[in-house]
Structure 1
Amino acid sequence: MASSTGKTLIALASGAAIGAVLGILFAPDKGEKTRQKIKDGYKDLEKDMKSKLANAKVDLEESYENMLSSMSYKTEDAITFLEKKLADLKEKNAKLHKN
């Protein structure tokens, strides 16, 4: 998930940079208007990146919680298995002591 988010952020930043350069080169507006458009584009990019980073953080937290939950179930399974084996060993040991 993290790799996909990183690639998305790189693509987004690259696209914004290319768009800004092309906008400057082909802008029919005055310099002041062009600078304002670039500034607005930067603000939009910043907002989008913050949103994506926040979503990535939520995804990472959810993945972590899911992993912990899964590990907890597996730990319980292992403990149950070991308890059964211990009970079997105690039973066999008790039979040996009776003889």
Structure 2
Amino acid sequence: MSSNDSGKTVLALLTGAAIGAGLGILFAPEKGSKTREKIKDGFDDKKNELKNKFDEYSETLKSKFSKSKADLESSFDDLVANVDDKTEDVIATLERKLEELKAASAKK
């Protein structure tokens, strides 16, 4: 049996258990209003649990993206600073070469 088949089997068992539990509650010998209240309370609990998990994952993602954004901005700033330094080096080299060419041209 592959892990995929095992996963499907476990999912089927859990689904069956959930359906059985739901039917057990619906056919329990309590008043309908009590049963509906239990179902509503269970639904509300699961809804709140899912909302909390979603909020937690959302905060985790926001944290990761804001850190990545800060890293990207820092890298960009470093790149711009390096380009500025290199630009000044290139201009200085070109000016020096121009002076050398002018001096060589004047000797001729």
TM-score of Structure 1 vs Structure 2, range by shorter chain: 0.5 to 0.7
Letter of the 2:24 partner, please give it.
F
Q: Which residue of 2 aligns with 1:79?
A: 80
> Gaps spanning 5+ residues in structure 1: where?
1-10
Q: Which residue of 2 aligns with 1:56?
A: 57
Letter of the 1:71 partner, please give it.
L
Of structures 1 and 2, the one with the larger relative CO (CA 8 A, separation 6+) is 1
Note the C-alpha offset of 1:37: 1.9
Dislocated runs of 4+, deviation >6 Å: none
Identity rate, percent: 19
> Gaps spanning 5+ residues in structure 2: where?
1-10, 101-108
1: CA distance between counterparts of 2:89 and 2:22?
79
Question: How many residues are treated as equivalent by the alignment?
Answer: 85
- What whole-Å deviation, never above 9, does each CA across 1:51-92 have from its counterpart, x for those lacking one? 122222212221221121011111022112212211220111
Q: Normalising by structure 1, what TM-score?
A: 0.67
